[in-house]
Amino acid sequence: MIGKLKGIVDSFGEDFVILDVSGVGYIAHCSARTLQRMPKVGEPAELSIETHVREDMIRLYGFRSDAEREWFRLLQTVQGVGARVALGVLSVMEPDALAGAIATGDKSAISRAPGVGPRLAARLTAELKDKAPAFSPLDPALVALAGAVEAGAPAGPVADAVSALVNLGYPQVQAATAIAAALKEAGPEAEAKVLIRLGLRELAR
């Protein structure tokens, strides 16, 4: 099995790159984000590789980081998610952003990926929510905060502040992250209007 390739970028296709490794060209299928960030043709590159072996073919999938590869694997543990859909999700979201969206139940962010409708997005957040923090530097308090808001916990300054930012058009994961940062700065007794102001300042950075 191939776990990593290091060579020279030979050429690009619509959804793949050919990496020349000691004179052998390997086709690695990649997310759009990975392809966009690859070096130019003729320059050295390195990819983490996931190898899929089937009776009629061997296909390589390439990733800029081990974290992206781990998410590729994890996404496919959910029914209805194959390699193409997993790459589609990783094409629109960085691994950390994906982890945050799943951990905080931000289904709308995940459903932006091609091939992911509302039902599949809901399934992804439900089945992977307990695994997402392991792949992300998210503050556990942030996950708990967003989960409480998602579950309709009793209103309070923090929940009101998150809801206010969501109503202004910010995705829930961004709103919860901003309010969590505001809460650390202002303290647990801060009023909603203070948290909203600090949260907006955080989002403007």
- Please list, in sequence order, all residues whose beta carbon lies within 8 angstroms of the beta carbon of residue 170, skipping any fewer than 6 positions away: 178, 203
On whether both 127 and 174 belong to a single domain, the answer is no
On whether both 76 and 40 belong to a single domain, the answer is no
Task: Compute the distance between CA of residue 88 and CA of residue 99 in angstroms, rounded to an integer.
Answer: 15
On whether both 117 and 70 belong to a single domain, the answer is yes
Q: Is the pLDDT of residue 63 over 70?
A: yes
On whether both 115 and 159 belong to a single domain, the answer is no
Residue 26 or residue 148, greater confidence: 26
The fraction of the chain above a pLDDT of 90, given in percent, is 43
pLDDT digits (tens, 9 = 90+) for 15-56: 999 999 999 999 999 999 999 999 999 999 999 999 999 888
Q: Is the pLDDT of residue 139 over 70?
A: no
**Mean pLDDT confidence for 113-127:** 90
On whether both 126 and 148 belong to a single domain, the answer is no
Q: Which of 36, 63, 90 is the last residue of a domain?
A: 63
- Please list, in sequence order, all residues whose beta carbon lies within 8 angstroms of the beta carbon of residue 44, skipping any fewer than 6 positions away: 6, 7, 8, 9
Domain count, the chain: 3
Residue 131 or residue 114, greater confidence: 114
pTM summary value: 0.69
Q: Is the pLDDT of residue 154 over 50?
A: no
On whether both 39 and 92 belong to a single domain, the answer is no
58-62, 86-90, 128-132, 180-184: which has the minimum mean pLDDT? 128-132
Backbone phi, psi, residue 153, to 5°: -65, 160
Domain at 51, CATH number:
2.40.50.140
On whether both 78 and 126 belong to a single domain, the answer is yes
Q: Which of 135, 150, 170 is the last residue of a domain?
A: 135
On whether both 86 and 115 belong to a single domain, the answer is yes
Domain at 105, CATH number:
1.10.150.20
Q: Which of 20, 35, 63 is the last residue of a domain?
A: 63
Residue 130 or residue 98, greater confidence: 98
On whether both 52 and 73 belong to a single domain, the answer is no
Backbone phi, psi, residue 48, to 5°: -75, 140
Would you place residue 100 in the very low, low, confident or very high pLDDT band (cuts 50, 70, 90)? confident
On whether both 53 and 70 belong to a single domain, the answer is no
Domain span at 191? 140-204
Listed in sequence order, the DSSP H helices in the chain are 32-36, 66-75, 83-92, 95-103, 107-110, 118-128, 140-150, 157-167, 172-186, 192-204
